[in-house]
Structure formats: structure tokens, C-alpha cells
Amino acid sequence: MSKGLPETRTDTAMSELVPEPRPKPAVPMKPVSINSNLLGYIGIDTIIEQMRKKTMKTGFDFNIMVVGQSGLGKSTLVNTLFKSQVSRKASSWNREEKIPKTVEIKAIGHVIEEGGVKMKLTVIDTPGFGDQINNENCWEPIEKYINEQYEKFLKEEVNIARKKRIPDTRVHCCLYFISPTGHSLRPLDLEFMKHLSKVVNIIPVIAKADTMTLEEKSEFKQRVRKELEVNGIEFYPQKEFDEDLEDKTENDKIRQESMPFAVVGSDKEYQVNGKRVLGRKTPWGIIEVENLSHCEFALLRDFVIRTHLQDLKEVTHNIHYETYRAKRLNDNGGLPPGEGLLGTVLPPVPATPCPTAE
């Protein structure tokens, strides 16, 4: 009795099932650098202008979250930053009305325009944070909200028929308000920042800085910086994301000297030396908000808006969102990291021409 014949037949049949390796796409050769002797002007650098025009047309989204105990001046600061009534302050100070029983998340969107650039600004307020007697886990609703926005974006991105521009509601920047005690950080501050620095860009800010003298201010800042370092809290700009030496030196300077910014906010204008400035009027003088010798508001504004706005968005998109996405896809499918969703498990799909778009 020979069993030789049936065996060979199944062997060939089996091998037909194993998918053939996909043919590799034609990868271009290594770029040959020919830049030294261009015989004339081509016009490649006009792409910058083209890009700028395009982005100006589409507009920008920016979502900023403010976190801190009530009364630290969050709404005032946001209004000062964006020079308009972005947040409406609570008019009446009724305990039940003002302090909610739980941490709420309130997101209000505005459209502001400047110099032809349209920006959809969303300010996310967190009333109730740190105001209860028992503040355990009060950062959880905030973390949940942030993850919900990532989830929303992921769902849109994963759709078959995607929108041309996925609406971006992810939190790009979180301003954390530190109470100016003059001593050190509170346990609540440390806990919050420890949990959230991994999912969002946190910029710690010392509120109501006009309660401290210059020496107190610099000591406090040093202590806060030390404490953050000791607890391993990476606030924005994170050291690990510095791209090149130039970035590193610039960011180092900010990290080690200026941050956390000690700010004063105000939306009232006063006359000082013949100019109208934003400030706070006190019996002993007028605190100018935009004066660098009085407080560091101008530094914060320049940092967040004028130089690092795009970077905040990019770090959120390229790093925090990607981390969330990778974790989510990993947990869901048990797929090992690095393997694509379209791994070699699936059978080779014949290249059929797609129907033309209607």
C-alpha cells in the first residue's frame, strides 16, 4: 500500500493557499544632489507662497484648555491673551451657582480673524476642578474628555469615505494655573500634571503673580521647576521632542529660565505715561500686564501664540495622537505593534482598476 500519491497532491494544493509575497513598488534610487550649479531660476521657492495662501484660505483650529482652581484668574487670562471677551466670567458669586458639584468641561468656540488669517479658537474651561473638599481623581473627567477628542478624530480618520478636512477638536494646549502660595506645588497640582503630561501639552502658569515680589517670584519658580523635575513631569516644550540643536538651545532657555510663566491678567485699560495699557489699578501703582518688568504675560503670549502655536498643534498630532492611536489599535485587536492592519494575513488582492469618481 503506497500513500505516496495523495500526499503530493495535497502539498501542491496547500502551497496555492499561501499568498505570494507582494511585489515591492519601484522605490526611487537614492537622491542625487544637484544643487550647486542651477543654471537659472526655476521657481521652486514659490511653493512657500503657495502653501501660505492655501493655509490661509482653509483657516486654523486651535483648542486651548484652562485648568485650575476657581478664582485664579483663568477667564481673565484667556481674555487678555486673545484680546477679546472669549470667556464670560461668572457675574454672581453664588456658591451653588459658581462652584459645580463635579468637574464640568465647557468648550466654547469662537472665530477670530487677524491679518487675513482666520482662526477657530475653542476655549475649554474646567469649572469645579480642585474646588471640592474631596478632590480625589478630579483629573479623570479631564483626561476622559481629552481622550474622547482623540477618539473622535481617530474614528473620522479610519472611515472609508473621509471628509476632506477632519474637524480637529483635540486639545492642543493645556494651561495649568498654579496658586501663588510662594512655597511649593500642592499635591493636587503634582497629581494632575503627572497624569496629564503624557496625553496633552501642559504649560504650567503661575497665576496672580502680582502677589509676589521679584525675589519671591524667582525663588518660587526655581522651586516649582525643581519639583516638576523631581517628579518626572515633562511639561511643554518636552525635552524629548526637540528636533535639532537650534530647537534645543531655544527651548532649553525657555524651560530653564522662563517657565513657569508668572502672569497677571487684565482686560481693563488705563492710561500710563500717555499710553493706554492693559493693567490692574491698585493704590500703590498700576501693574502693566504687557510690561516685561512687571510680569511675564508678554512672554507667555509670544510663546504660545506667536512662535509655538503651530508646534503645539504638531506635537499634539504627531505624538500625543499617535500614541493614543497606537495604544487603541493595540488594545483592540491584540495586533503586535509595528504590524500593519493590512498584514500579510490577508490574501493578495488583484489590482483591479477603481471606478472613476462620479
Partner 1 sequence: MAVAVGRPSNEELRNLSLSGHVGFDSLPDQLVNKSTSQGFCFNILCVGETGIGKSTLMDTLFNTKFESDPATHNEPGVRLKARSYELQESNVRLKLTIVDTVGFGDQINKDDSYKPIVEYIDAQFEAYLQEELKIKRSLFNYHDTRIHACLYFIAPTGHSLKSLDLVTMKKLDSKVNIIPIIAKADTIAKNELHKFKSKIMSELVSNGVQIYQFPTDEETVAEINATMSVHLPFAVVGSTEEVKIGNKMAKARQYPWGVVQVENENHCDFVKLREMLIRVNMEDLREQTHTRHYELYRRCKLEEMGFKDTDPDSKPFSLQETYEAKRNEFLGELQKKEEEMRQMFVMRVKEKEAELKEAEKELHEKFDLLKRTHQEEKKKVEDKKKELEEEVNSFQKKKAAAQLLQSQAQQSGAQQTKKDKDKKKNSRRSELEILKIQVCKENREGTHYVLVLVI
Q: How far apart are the first and last CA of the chain?
A: 64
Regarding 82 and contact with partner 1 (CB under 8 A), the answer is yes
54 is a contact residue toward partner 1 (CB under 8 A):
yes
HSE, side-chain direction, 13 A CA sphere, residue 97: 6
Contact residue for partner 1 among 83, 183, 198, 253 (CB under 8 A): 83
- Distance CA(168)–CA(61), nearest Å, equals 7
Region from 104-112, 192-200, 222-230, 258-266 binding partner 1, contact rule CB under 8 A: 104-112
- Exactly one of 15, 20, 96, 164 binds partner 1 (CB under 8 A); which one? 164
| Residue 56 within binding range of partner 1, rule CB under 8 A | yes
Residue in 12, 134, 273, 293 binding partner 1, rule: CB under 8 A: 134
Cell of 336: 503586535
Using rule CB under 8 A, residue 187 touches partner 1: no
Residue 8 has which C-alpha cell?
503530493
Residues between 312 and 341 that touch partner 1 (CB under 8 A): 314, 318, 322, 325-326, 329-330, 332-333, 335, 337-341
Buried b (16+ CB within 10 A) or exposed e, 180-210: beeeebeebbbbbbeebbebbbbbbbbbbbb
**Cis peptide leading into residue 336 (ω within 30°):** no
Pairing of strands 60-67, 106-114: unpaired
Of 4, 21, 95, 114, which one interacts with partner 1 (CB under 8 A)? 114
Q: Tell whether residue 358 is a contact of partner 1 (CB under 8 A).
A: no
Q: Which parts of 19-48 interact with partner 1 (CB under 8 A)?
A: 23, 25-35, 37-48
> Of the candidates 89, 93, 109, 183, which one interacts with partner 1 according to CB under 8 A?
109
**Window 234-263: residues binding partner 1 (CB under 8 A):** 243-244
71, 99, 119, 227: residue in contact with partner 1 (rule CB under 8 A): 119
At closest approach, how far in Å is the CB of 165 from partner 1? 9
Task: State which of residues 76, 122, 201, 266 lies at the interface with partner 1 (CB under 8 A).
Answer: 122
161 touching partner 1, by CB under 8 A: yes
CA distances to 141, 189, 255 from 260, rounded to whole Å, are 25, 13, 8
Could you tell me where the DSSP H helices lie in 73-213?
Answer: 74-82, 95-98, 140-158, 187-196
Write down the least CB distance from residue 215 to partner 1, Å. Answer: 31
| Angstrom distance (rounded) from CA 141 to CA 127 | 11
**CA–CA separation, 202 and 149 (whole Å):** 16
Residue list 57-76, contact with partner 1 (CB under 8 A): 57, 60, 62
Q: Which has the closest alpha carbon to 80: 66, 94, 91, 70? A: 66
According to the binding rule CB under 8 A, does residue 106 interact with partner 1? yes
